[in-house]
Amino acid sequence: MGLRVAVAGATGAVGVEMLKVLERSSLNVDELHLLASSRSAGKTMTFKGEELTVKELTEDSFAGLDLALFSAGGSISKKFRQACVDAGCLMVDNSSAFRMEEGVPLVVPEVNPDAAKQHQGVIANPNCTTIIMLTALAPLHRVNPIKRIHAATYQAASGAGQAAMEELYNGTRAYLNEESFTPEVLPFPYAFNLFPHNSPLQENGYCEEEMKMVNETHKMLEDQSIKVHATCVRVPVLRTHAEALNIEFTNEMDIDEAYALLKGAPGVQVLEDRESNRWAMPIDASEQYDVYAGRIRKDISQDKTLDLWVVGDQLLKGAALNAVQIAELVLG
Ligand code: A2P
């Protein structure tokens, strides 16, 4: 018998992608339940050619289900966790609600697949920038442990949901038409602009997004001693994040060796044309499953250190795809 699956937040930017990824996945989905707020109840969405009706997410939504993919925000995940677990339904949660909780595995299948097996009903999907970064770094870290990561990120609108993507469209249109436009989803004008990530500022001056990269890297690589430093910036791109990574290793790492490791790594593609000075861009990685990496340089300022450029679709590997891959690991 196949699996009975729910997507909580099915109408959102990530939820819509979860449906598409599930259609292509190796999971044998027998039944799919689309759950969202009461605002969306009655809407229809298509899965494998069949029209399905969206229902309101309630505590009774999980009876008899095997898997629930959650992407409706942290407060919804917290509210429905117990009902989901009590129903014996595996919760794969895209929010940050449980990521740092002991007993909740935080998993990228290419990085720490074994952690998924320790779950007690809930598995957390990591932060999108961290997933994209570690998918590219894990194959290097395995042969030459990383001592320090410095990351600068260029993050797309999709990380703030469907409404932020629409605001980028509308703000751009208004800008081109020389009309006034007041942003409502993001705090600042986004079209033809950029700003440091707007997640809440912490006492140490880092924003929450930056600290997620620090803390989640430590948890997934199971090494608190790795120094991680990040500067996260929102740029007016729709759905793909880019990251400039500066990585200090334990030992010297040859550029050719790094390229060879990335070329052989699952979930990673090397994409670049050095002669044309062309490197992976959001237009290359958007709607693609793999993370695209390249532009490896030896840091001229410091030994044992390489620079790496990575781009990845925030909605896919950064969210929906990774969540479905976690489910494939455990239930496939
Ligand atoms: P809805 O479309 O009915 O508001 P995004 O991340 O793109 O903003 O999407 C958020 C997702 O979470 C949407 O599917 C949204 O449904 C869903 N959601 C928001 N609030 C609730 C709620 N109170 N109960 C269930 N789903 C919710």
d(CA 65, CA 281): 39
Quick one: which of 120, 114, 118, 19 has its CA closest to 69?
Answer: 19
The answer, yes or no, to whether any atom of ligand 1 lies below 6 A from the CB of 39, is yes
Beta carbons of 239 and 314 less than 8 angstroms apart: yes
Beta carbons of 118 and 94 less than 8 angstroms apart: no
- What residues are paired with 148 via a beta bridge? 227, 248
Neighbours of 173 (CB within 10 A): 12
What is residue 8's three-state secondary structure? Answer: strand
Specify the domain boundaries for CATH 3.40.50.720 within the chain: 3-125+319-331
Look up residue 186 and give its amino acid: L
DSSP string, 11-74: TSHHHHHHHHHHHHSSS-EEEEEEEE-TTTTT-EEEETTEEEE-EE--GGGGTT-SEEEE-S-H
Neighbours of 53 (CB within 10 A): 12
Catalytic (active-site) positions: 128, 241
Question: How crowded is the C-beta side of 52, counted as CA atoms within 13 Å?
Answer: 21
Q: So what's the pLDDT on residue 3?
A: 98
Closest residue (by CA) to atom 12 of ligand 1?
72
Q: Which strand (E) or helix (H) includes residue 164?
A: helix 162-176
Closest residue (by CA) to atom 14 of ligand 1?
9
Specify the domain boundaries for CATH 3.30.360.10 within the chain: 130-315
Tokens matching residue 253: 């790492």
Ligand 1 centroid to Cα of residue 11, in Å, is 7
Model confidence over 72-115: pLDDT tens digits? 999 999 999 999 999 999 999 999 999 999 999 999 999 999 99
* Full pLDDT tens readout for the chain, 332 residues: 899 999 999 999 999 999 999 999 999 999 999 999 999 999 999 999 999 999 999 999 999 999 999 999 999 999 999 999 999 999 999 999 999 999 999 999 999 999 999 999 999 999 999 999 999 999 999 999 999 999 999 999 999 999 999 999 999 999 999 999 999 999 999 999 999 999 999 999 999 999 999 999 999 999 999 999 999 999 999 999 999 999 999 999 999 999 999 999 999 999 999 999 999 999 999 999 999 999 999 999 999 999 999 999 999 999 999 999 999 999 98
Closest residue (by CA) to atom 2 of ligand 1?
11
Beta carbons of 271 and 292 less than 8 angstroms apart: yes
Tokens matching residue 277: 């000075």
Ligand 1 centroid to Cα of residue 152, in Å, is 30
Model confidence over 114-167: pLDDT tens digits? 999 999 999 999 999 999 999 999 999 999 999 999 999 999 999 999 999 999
What is residue 92's three-state secondary structure? Answer: strand
The answer, yes or no, to whether any atom of ligand 1 lies below 6 A from the CB of 288, is no
Give the architecture (CATH level 2) of 130-315.
2-Layer Sandwich (3.30)
Ligand 1 centroid to Cα of residue 161, in Å, is 10
The CATH code of the domain at 3-125+319-331 is 3.40.50.720
Ligand 1 centroid to Cα of residue 93, in Å, is 14
Q: In sequence order, what E strands does 212-290 have?
A: 227-234, 240-249, 268-270, 272-273, 278-279
Strands 268-270 and 291-298, sheet pairing: parallel
Q: So what's the pLDDT on residue 1?
A: 82
The answer, yes or no, to whether any atom of ligand 1 lies below 6 A from the CB of 41, is no
Look up residue 182 and give its amino acid: T
Look up residue 329 and give its amino acid: L
